[in-house]
Amino acid sequence: MPPKTPHQPASACYAQTIPGLEEIASAEISQHLGAEILRTAPGLVVFRPEELDREVLELRTVEDVFLLAWGSDGLTYRAKDLDFIEKWTATKPDWPKLLAIHHAIHPKPKGTPGYWLVVQQSGKHVYQRQSARQALARGLGRNIHPKWRFVEENADIEFWLTIDGTQAICGLRLSTRDMRHRTWKREHRAASLRPVVAAAMAWQAELGPGMVVLDPMCGAGTLLGEARLMLQSHGRGRLRLTGGDVDLDALETARLNLRNLGGAELFRWDARRLPMADQSVDRILCNLPFGITYGVGQDLGALYTRSFREMRRVLRPKGLAVLLTSEAATAREAAGAAKLKPTASTRVRMLGQPATMLTLRPV
Ligand SMILES: C[S@@+](CC[C@H](N)C(=O)[O-])C[C@H]1O[C@@H](n2cnc3c(N)ncnc32)[C@H](O)[C@@H]1O
């Protein structure tokens, strides 16, 4: 990458996340990369980092990061958009510069590079995604070296175009699939949390080195793992992780996953009767049972009331709990009864389903 001078700001980037997490992702991006946030839209954060290097791949509350080629909110849903896409792709970006930055972050492979085009499209446009993809390809035209191979898998370079209603954004993907899927989480369970949501909950919990972090219904262990990585990847030390679940299979899954990250203390227990001392925990993170998989036939109100009372008992006076549920009203009621006060609430959409992330403090 060419050395930067104060007159040469780093190139702009954008990150994709789960709709609802833009504010948390923006906070991580600006604190971790010293970045200026240029704009946000549902599931999208556009930013300019102080310096652009591999640190951008250490972000945890986003699923993909790109170098910005161009962006617009001037689409019309009509066929003329295809001309715009072709023209903007051909004329707006400095492709040689963007490709040089990409190669600095992902060194150019030996031999001929393979490339791929990805187009995401949502909204009632008169044209199909395939037509938008062809317009992107025409716009790229001579910017792609004639010897580069067009490959479907393991491409070295991916050009992405995301169209959402009147908005379109185009860039070069910097992240690999590991950013979204996380290599540490090899074992999965039904209703298991998306790692990026777990990371956002860990961010909300304001973790600090040496803290005791509890997930009383830990499932596959996603929250405990992401909590550890949130601190570690930002170079801020280690946590003491404790978790438990009623389900032995869940515990085994959590044990296997967390083994990849240095382990955790895991127990089979009922979250309504935690075998833990009063005021022994700094932070609680929990993806509460809710929805189709865990909700049917259960009295969630009673489960929440009793387990929240236990959370309140084991939490230190300055502690924090960050909980995820689709049953926000039930959770608020149980929190009130347990003398836990909501201090923040974030609505997210996961696989089309709304859920709420609630931050609670003891009162
Ligand atoms: C929605 S899942 C959590 C998923 C988990 N956070 C993950 O990412 O994989 C809820 C978990 O709560 C557990 N659970 C339900 N009732 C419980 C109780 N009374 N005590 C402990 N665990 C319980 C279930 O076995 C399940 O693993």
For 247-277, the pLDDT digits (tens) are: 999 999 999 999 989 989 999 999 999 999 9
Does residue 290 sit in the same domain as residue 273? yes
Confidence of residue 7 (pLDDT cuts 50, 70, 90): very low
Task: Tell me the mean pLDDT in the region 19-48.
Answer: 96
Cα(233) to ligand 1 centroid in Å equals: 26
Which one of 135, 150, 179 terminates a domain?
179
Predicted confidence at residue 146, as pLDDT, reads 86
Which of 252, 253, 231 has the alpha carbon at shortest distance from 241?
231
Cα(93) to ligand 1 centroid in Å equals: 48
Predicted confidence at residue 294, as pLDDT, reads 55
Confidence of residue 298 (pLDDT cuts 50, 70, 90): low
Q: How far is CA 295 from CA 242, 288, 291, 292, in A?
A: 25, 10, 5, 5
Least confident of 154-168, 241-255, 345-359: 345-359
For residue 30, tell me if it sits in a domain: yes
Does residue 23 sit in the same domain as residue 154? yes
d(Cα 80, Cα 83) in Å, to the nearest integer? 5
d(Cα 119, Cα 113) in Å, to the nearest integer? 20
d(Cα 249, Cα 54) in Å, to the nearest integer? 37
Which one of 156, 179, 202 terminates a domain?
179
Residue type, 138: R
Of all protein residues, whose CA lies closest to atom 26 belonging to ligand 1? 219
Does residue 198 sit in the same domain as residue 262? yes
Of all protein residues, whose CA lies closest to atom 27 belonging to ligand 1? 219
> By residue range, what is the domain housing residue 33?
13-179
We report the CATH number of the domain holding residue 333 as 3.40.50.150
Task: Tell me the mean pLDDT in the region 57-67.
Answer: 96
Predicted confidence at residue 245, as pLDDT, reads 97
For residue 241, tell me if it sits in a domain: yes
Which one of 179, 208, 230 terminates a domain?
179
Cα(54) to ligand 1 centroid in Å equals: 35
Q: How many domains does the chain contain in total?
A: 2
Whether ligand 1 lies within 6 angstroms of the CB of 187 is answered as no
Q: Does the structure show a pLDDT above 50 at 43?
A: yes
Task: Tell me the mean pLDDT in the region 216-229.
Answer: 96
Which of 51, 171, 58, 52 has the alpha carbon at shortest distance from 118?
171
For residue 218, tell me if it sits in a domain: yes
Does residue 266 sit in the same domain as residue 186? yes
Whether ligand 1 lies within 6 angstroms of the CB of 270 is answered as yes
Task: Tell me the mean pLDDT in the region 143-150.
Answer: 88
- What 3-state DSSP class applies to 216? coil
Does residue 210 sit in the same domain as residue 333? yes
213: β partners: 241, 283
- What's the burial of 133, exposed, middle or buried (CB within 10 Å: 0-12/13-18/19+)? middle
For residue 357, tell me if it sits in a domain: yes
Pocket test for ligand 1, best of 246, 292, 304, 353 (most atoms within 8 A of CB): 246
* Residue 97 burial (CB count, 10 A): 12
Strands 13-16 vs 315-325: parallel, antiparallel or unpaired: unpaired
Does residue 173 sit in the same domain as residue 264? no
> Ligand 1 atom closest to Cα of 247?
25
Write out the E strands in 228-331.
Answer: 240-245, 265-268, 281-287, 315-325
Q: How far is CA 206 from CA 91, 236, 360, in A?
A: 44, 12, 12
Does residue 194 sit in the same domain as residue 171? no
Predicted confidence at residue 78, as pLDDT, reads 98
For residue 5, tell me if it sits in a domain: no
Whether ligand 1 lies within 6 angstroms of the CB of 257 is answered as no
Cα(191) to ligand 1 centroid in Å equals: 9
Predicted confidence at residue 191, as pLDDT, reads 67
Q: pTM of the entire structure?
A: 0.92
Task: Tell me the mean pLDDT in the region 205-227.
Answer: 96
Does residue 167 sit in the same domain as residue 261? no
Cα(336) to ligand 1 centroid in Å equals: 22
Does residue 103 sit in the same domain as residue 76? yes
